[in-house]
Amino acid sequence: MYRVGRGEDAFAPPPWKYVFEDGTFNNRYDDPRADRNVPEEERFRVIYCATRRAGAYGETIAPYRKSLSLLASLQEIDDDEPLDLELEGGIVPKEFRSQRVLGTTRLSDGLRFADIGNGETYTVLRTELAQWLVKLGLEDLDLSAITSSQRRLSQEVARYVYELADEGYTFFAGIRYPSRLNIEWELWAIFCDRMEHSLEEVAGVIAEDDLELQEAAKVLGVRIE
């Protein structure tokens, strides 16, 4: 597994001081139970990883893509002279690589994950989360709904998966899901209190010439400074 993180431990859970007003870290499978007055010490935090480095890079450099409004404006420009690259945007700055580290680890055998993308998973979620689907104005449940910009649904999926247990035995360590940016990137949302792993390498500096960083940049249409 690979994770782009900060600090010496790339797999450390995010500090609670960084939560948003809704009590989440504004990520897809975060714990949504702050609005139920569940205290921090009882809520779960999530470690987001990828099977390949390209997936881990892609998820973190996506915010540097050109905005849709900028792309639309560029298409309106009728000029033979190309724009300066700095003005055109879509650049991952050097600070990204200097402030982040790449962590590599191996998950323990026996950990189980709910598979988003599996048909039987949707059948279960469609039934168990029917009230939330209706509340969010959705007519049905499919991959596009879970990977959409409406993250409350995916957070409720994470809450449901986290709470599945029988006589104190928890069923899942997290969720496996495809990236919304590139379906070929396999991603993992791992509940930090159930993450059993052994580090493969000490978190290292992200190199500009890392082939999988370049691959992610090409897929997303950005340039590595």
Q: pLDDT tens, 123-157? A: 999 999 999 999 989 889 988 888 887 789 999 99
Task: Note the pLDDT of residue 209.
Answer: 92
Per-residue pLDDT tens over the stretch 61-102: 999 998 766 666 666 666 655 555 554 568 999 999 999 999
User: How far apart are alpha carbons 164 and 149 in whole angstroms?
Assistant: 25
Assign 3-class secondary structure to 1-34. CEEEECCCCCCCCCCHHHCCCCCCCCCCCCCCHH
Among 165, 166, 145, smallest CA distance to 155 is for: 145
Which residues are CB-neighbours of 204 under 8 A, at least 6 positions away?
Answer: 101, 102
Which residues are CB-neighbours of 179 under 8 A, at least 6 positions away?
Answer: 50, 55, 58, 59, 185, 186, 187
**pTM of this prediction?**
0.89
Tokens of 193: 């209190």
Task: Kindly state the helix (H) or strand (E) to which residue 190 belongs, with its residue range.
Answer: strand 186-191
Taking a C-beta distance cutoff of 8 angstroms, is the pair 202, 140 a contact? no
Section 92-121 average pLDDT: 93
Q: How confident is the model at residue 166 (pLDDT cuts 50, 70, 90)?
A: confident
Q: How confident is the model at residue 35 (pLDDT cuts 50, 70, 90)?
A: confident
The SS3 assignment for 97 reads: helix
User: How far apart are alpha carbons 12 and 41 in whole angstroms?
Assistant: 16
Q: How confident is the model at residue 201 (pLDDT cuts 50, 70, 90)?
A: confident
Tokens of 167: 């006589």
Q: How confident is the model at residue 180 (pLDDT cuts 50, 70, 90)?
A: very high
User: How far apart are alpha carbons 38 and 138 in whole angstroms?
Assistant: 26
User: How far apart are alpha carbons 38 and 56 in whole angstroms?
Assistant: 30
